[in-house]
Homo-oligomer: A and B are copies of this chain.
Amino acid sequence: MAEPLRIGLLGFGNIGTGLIESLEANRALLEARCGRPLAVRRIADIDIETPRPVEVDRSILTTDARSVVRDPQIDVIVELIGGIEPARGFVELALREGKHVVTANKALLAAHGPELLALARDRHVRLFFEAAVGGGIPVIRTLEDCLNGNRIERIEAILNGTCNYILTQMLEEDMSFEAALADAQRLGYAEPDPTADIESIDAANKIAVLASLAFGFDVRYEDVWRVGITQLTLQDLRSAITEGYVVKQRAVAELDAEGRLWVCVRPALLWRFHPLASVSGVLNGLMIRATPLGALFLSGPGAGRAATSSAVLSDLLAIARLRPGAPLEPPFLDVPVGRKPLLSPGPEADGYWLRILTDGNTEAVADIADALVSNRVAIERITESLWEQDHSGATHVVEVFTAQAAEEDIRRAAHILDDADWSPPESTPLVLPRVD
């Protein structure tokens, strides 16, 4: 058998131990597939004392990540630290040292991806990141290797399993947002500080990476229009389902006919037969629209040790297959620097759903209808009901399904309504796009 692929692992927490376990469990099969031994030579973590559920030779453990990255006896660095620093420094150093890098780090890629990819190209090494987006769903290779004969038109996706779990759980178990979040934290699906998930930061990082690859724009985290899911209540989700819609945290990247790219993550009402509407719990899902293909739908586990291991191992096998010294072809889809997306609330929706709280004033419905119509927004349905949630001062809720409209017109109307006498001080109209 050929020379081993010598692996240095940075980060030996839940995901890192999972990777070692998966590698050991299928070692013979994986080595037969790539024709080389897969040798984990060194593992760095800030904590090398706490016992792990997997056995490794203690002599390969170190707290000095930099020494692993610089070790000339290592061919590839697997970065499972997460976050931007110090991961960025290690990845950059590894690439400069001529090592291949496999990372699961979406935040790093959404902040510095183009520069790191350019550095990898410059040093004739690979920077692979299948695990960074979609967990076990192989969406990076799907775009890069499988759909490269297509012009991608739109990616619509559920990319954050934590939010999807919370929204699923609220509806299925009649839970408040807060209770479902606590449940997700108890199960380890949400971090003690859940901000990155529920404020759509994680999903924004991921759609930024996908949009860069699929459309060849320079899309960074800050280019993504982002709305969190914290405003959603159980009553909202129930109202939507009664009308045939499921509320999802939906990430979209769409190239319009004028060649402008729209990238956003925000809650949206999806018609219940929309493929993403059936993606429930911690699963992720993606609808990719392309020409000539049509539409491809993928769903699978979006996070966790098993899903991440599957993705990292496919990256390691691809690297194991490279012939040392042979020139590297650039990837099919390269991340260019230059063209930027629109920073905007996203492509045109089929309509909007508005939820506006009131103090019970009988003029409210007429005011709402007036504000919308005078801003060129046609109303399909408008209903008033009791507001069952605890919200200071609100006793009633008015819900509106609008026809197709410009989001700026909807927002102008919502802004007027926010100032109405009957609008409780702490409430603001909720505006969600609708996908029929």
Contacts and interface: CB of A to CB of B under 8 A. Distances in A.
Interface of A: 18, 21-22, 25-26, 29-30, 33-35, 130, 136-138, 141-142, 145-151, 275, 278, 290-301, 305-307, 309-314, 316-318, 321, 323, 326-327, 329-330, 332-333
A29 B298 contact: no
A34 B291 contact: no
A149 B313 contact: yes
Given A145-B318, A307-B293, A332 B34 contact: yes
Contacts of A326: 326
- Chain B CB count within 10 A is highest, among A30, A130, A310, for A310
A310 B150 contact: yes
Contact of A309 (B138, B292, B295, B307): B292
A387 B87 CA distance: 68
A290 B138 CA distance: 13
A293 B306 contact: yes
B141 A18 contact: no
A314 B145 contact: yes
Contact of A310 (B33, B141, B149, B316): B149
A310 B332 contact: no
Given A18-B292, A35-B329, 11 more contacts: A21-B292, A136-B293, A136-B296, A138-B145, A138-B147, A141-B146, A145-B314, A148-B313, A275-B299, A292-B305, A293-B307
A35 to B, nearest CB: 8
Given A296-B300, A326-B326, A291 B145 contact: no
